[in-house]
Amino acid sequence: MRKSEFLTALRKGLNGLPQADIDASIEFYSEMIDDRMEDGLTEAEATEMIGPVGQVVSHILMETPLPKLVKAKVSPNRALAAWEIILLILGAPLWLPLLISVVIMALTLYFLIWVIVVLLYLIEVLLAGCALLGISSFPAYLLTGNWPKAGVAIGMGLICAGLAILWFSGSSRAAEGMLTLSKRMIRRIKSCFI
């Protein structure tokens, strides 16, 4: 595929995005093809190394912020007719609450994911605090001659320290999983507008 064909197909695939974004993407891939041609590749080899146009378009759209995608898909290409406006107004009692409900559910789920992460790390802080309290109270019990309480304090302090170490590793993995889940959720929402 020639460079001009690649860039034309790319422009067609990005149709609907703001013109500045389309121009920036076209310029970026044009320079990428030129750089590869300067390295000794032919025009066809340079465009082939970039990948299929559809894959490049999908990558660009996934990297585009969600508000831009929504605005590009929701804004009409033509002026609405009077009957379309009337239908939108008459149908608003049905579609508007549904739209609000879906948005609120998605935001609640996203918020819940991060609340869980914060709670996991809060438990980590509490375990570490219990470990410090148990270990630091050990000398006080020893000085007062209360050997059983000193043994319980150091034992509980060490147990909490061990649990804090284990909990940190688990909560770090859970946080990574939640981050991956939230990224997938945002990509799934974006895919509705691509």
Question: Where in the chain are the domains?
Answer: 3-74, 97-193
Rounded percentage of the chain residues whose pLDDT exceeds 90: 29
pLDDT at 130: 95
Residue 63 is predicted with a pLDDT of 79
Query: Among residues 120, 119, 128, which one has the least CA distance to residue 164?
Result: 128
Mean pLDDT of 23-50: 87
Residue type, 36: R
pLDDT tens string 50-81: 888 888 888 887 777 777 766 666 565 667 78
Tens-digit pLDDT profile for residues 68-126: 766 666 565 667 788 888 988 988 899 899 989 988 998 898 899 889 989 999 999 99
Q: How far apart are CA 47 and CA 71, in angstroms?
A: 30
Tokens for 113, please give them. Answer: 């994911």
Q: What is the DSSP letter of 80?
A: P
